[in-house]
């Protein structure tokens, strides 16, 4: 059986508590040789907050690529647990290395940007940032820690990106299950209901959460939004598997990753745009209109120009559509679409912005 077909609701242990990141040594005292995998800025933030660590530290800059995984495995060959401290790229890298070394992984997200801390998979890119594949791992993380105080001072744009990425859970899972001929398994239905709950939470709390970060004040909306992004989002695919993981929005994101202009645009921002393309592809205009005010208040992209693609729109549409319609892409889980269908969906969004 493939790892992605096994129901795994999340990490083996999960703690959300103010100050919990400072308790990490005590939580891992049974391990002989912990090694930290982190980024330069992430580890600086962690050190400033917690006082640092005496464990070996591997710092990485760049993408979660096959070469990066190989290098971490080489440097952490004697470790019995890898601790990922950072954003989605770092956490994916830590999980991939731990899986290859067949040791435990601990996740300490430094931003509320993705559900990487609660999912047993890694998204793999090449050294230039082009999407390659998704690797599914043999086990879930040993422990995931969410420290609201640590996250509160993280860059706001990453929280916004996390909101966009997590919002896609409902739209993608609903589209896949609605277009699946056989009845969805009970656990997939549970994943779908969780995705709906997540959407409702985000639409209710996201703006107040961003406001809390701007003021530097811990609040219930901030904690709820952070936990929704980091923990609840991972349970959707954990329950529903391929029926509840990715569909049109992420296929569009993957296509956008091949455009150099978008390499500085955060993952969740591209996924948020992908939601609109997916809805346009399905001719669900009322749902687009429902989302647009929310998008504008949070500064989400609603056009190619918003993504930094200022010219050559025809070529951009062609490349996005060409990748999104590949046989191995997640768009096919929603039904049969052609490149011209995706291009037309993108064009409909462009036209709406010009007339709106």
Q: Which of 60, 137, 224, 267 is catalytic?
A: 267
pLDDT at 54 over 70: yes
Question: What pLDDT is recorded for position 181?
Answer: 72
Would residue 313 show up in a list of annotated catalytic residues for this protein?
Answer: no
Residue 30 is assigned to a ligand binding site: no
Q: What is the pLDDT of residue 352?
A: 85
121 is in an annotated binding site: yes
Contact 147, 17 (CB under 8 A): yes
Decide if 3-152 and 246-356 have a common fold: no
5 is in an annotated binding site: no
The arithmetic mean of pLDDT across residues 167-179, rounded, is 96
For residue 210, the model assigns a pLDDT of 98
Clarify whether 5 is annotated catalytic.
Answer: no
103 is in an annotated binding site: no
Q: Is 165 annotated as belonging to a binding site?
A: yes
Q: pLDDT by residue (tens digit) across 85-117?
A: 999 999 999 999 999 999 999 999 999 999 999
Spell out the long-range contacts of 21-28 with Cβ–Cβ below 8 A and sequence spacing 24 or more: 21/46, 21/49, 21/50, 21/108, 21/145, 21/147, 21/150, 22/49, 22/50, 22/51, 22/147, 24/50, 24/53, 24/83, 24/106, 24/108, 24/145, 25/53, 27/143, 27/145, 28/81, 28/83, 28/106, 28/143
* Residue 285 and residue 264 in contact, taking contact as beta carbons nearer than 8 Å: no
Cα-Cα-Cα-Cα torsion 220, 291, 165, 183, nearest 10 degrees, comes to 100
Phi (first) and psi of residue 143, to 5 degrees: -155, 135
Q: Which residues contact 210 (CB under 8 A, 6 or more apart)?
A: 156, 159, 160, 298
Distance (Å, rounded) from C-alpha 222 to C-alpha 216?
Answer: 10
User: pLDDT tens digits for 209-262?
Assistant: 999 999 999 999 999 999 999 999 999 999 998 889 899 999 999 999 999 999
Helix (H, G, I), strand (E, B) or coil at 180: coil
CA distances from 308 to 92, 117, 131, 156, 270 (A): 26, 29, 19, 20, 11
Tens digits of residue pLDDT in 302-314: 999 999 999 999 9
Whether 164 has a binding-site annotation, put simply, is: no
DSSP three-state, residue 184? coil
- The one catalytic residue in 250, 313, 323, 341 is 250
For domain 3-152, the CATH class is alpha beta
Round to whole Å and give the CA distance between 92 and 82.
11
Catalytic residue among 60, 224, 253, 323: 253
pLDDT of 123 strictly over 70: yes
Q: Which pLDDT band holds residue 356 (cuts at 50, 70, 90)?
A: low
Q: How far apart are CA 258 and CA 131, in angstroms?
A: 8
Give the range among 21-25, 182-186, 191-195, 201-205 with minimum mean pLDDT.
182-186
Nearest CA among 161, 135, 192, 141 for reference residue 264: 161
At 271-304, the pLDDT tens digits run 999 999 999 999 999 999 999 999 999 999 999 9
The catalytic position among 99, 135, 147, 165 is 165
Which residues are registered as beta bridge partners of 16?
146
Mean of per-residue pLDDT scores for the chain: 95
Catalytic-residue membership of 250: yes
> Which of 1.20.1090.10, 1.10.10.10, 1.20.140.10, 1.20.1050.10 would CATH assign to domain 246-356?
1.20.1090.10
Question: Is 90 a known ligand-binding residue?
Answer: yes
- The response to whether 92 counts as a known ligand-binding position is yes
- Range with the lowest mean pLDDT among 6-15, 225-234, 308-317, 336-345? 6-15
Answer yes or no: 323 catalytic: no
89 is in an annotated binding site: yes
Domain boundaries, the chain: 3-152, 246-356
Q: How confident is residue 129, by pLDDT bands cut at 50, 70 and 90? A: confident
Task: State residue 5's pLDDT score.
Answer: 72
pLDDT score of 219: 98
Secondary structure in 3-state letters for 74-138? HHCCCCCEEEEEECHHHHHHHHHHHHHHCCEEEEEECCCCCCHHHCCEEEEECCCCCEEEEEECC
């Amino acid at each position: 059986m493939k790892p992605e077909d096994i129901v795994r609701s999340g990490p083996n242990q999960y703690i959300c508590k103010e100050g919990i990141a400072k308790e990490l040594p005590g939580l891992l005292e049974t391990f002989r040789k912990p090694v930290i995998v982190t980024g330069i800025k992430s580890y600086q933030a962690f050190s400033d907050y917690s006082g640092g660590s005496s464990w070996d530290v591997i710092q990485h800059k760049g993408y979660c690529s096959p070469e990066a995984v190989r290098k971490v495995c080489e440097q952490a060959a004697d470790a019995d647990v890898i601790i990922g401290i950072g954003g989605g790229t770092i956490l994916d890298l830590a999980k991939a290395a731990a899986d290859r070394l067949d040791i435990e992984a601990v996740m300490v997200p430094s931003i509320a940007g993705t559900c990487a801390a609660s999912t047993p998979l890694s998204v793999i890119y090449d050294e230039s940032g082009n999407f390659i594949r998704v690797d599914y791992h043999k086990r879930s993380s040993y422990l995931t820690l969410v420290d609201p105080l640590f996250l509160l001072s993280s860059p706001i744009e990453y929280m916004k990106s996390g909101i966009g990425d997590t919002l896609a859970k409902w739209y993608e899972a609903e589209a896949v299950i609605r277009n699946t001929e056989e009845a969805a398994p009970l656990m997939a239905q549970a994943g779908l209901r969780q995705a709906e709950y997540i959407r409702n939470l985000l639409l209710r709390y996201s703006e107040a959460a961003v406001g809390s970060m701007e003021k530097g004040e811990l609040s219930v909306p901030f904690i709820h939004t952070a936990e929704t992004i980091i923990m609840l989002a991972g349970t959707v695919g954990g329950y529903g598997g391929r029926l509840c993981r990715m569909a049109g929005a992420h296929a569009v994101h993957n296509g956008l990753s091949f455009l150099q202009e978008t390499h500085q645009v955060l993952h969740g921002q591209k996924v948020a745009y992908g939601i609109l393309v997916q809805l346009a592809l399905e001719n669900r205009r009322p749902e687009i209109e429902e989302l647009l005010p929310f998008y504008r208040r949070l500064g989400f992209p609603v056009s190619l120009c918003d993504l930094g693609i200022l010219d050559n729109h025809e070529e951009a549409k062609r490349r996005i559509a060409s990748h999104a319609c590949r046989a191995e892409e997640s768009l096919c889980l929603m039904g049969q679409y052609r490149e011209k269908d995706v291009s037309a969906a993108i064009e409909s969004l462009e036209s709406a912005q010009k007339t709106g």
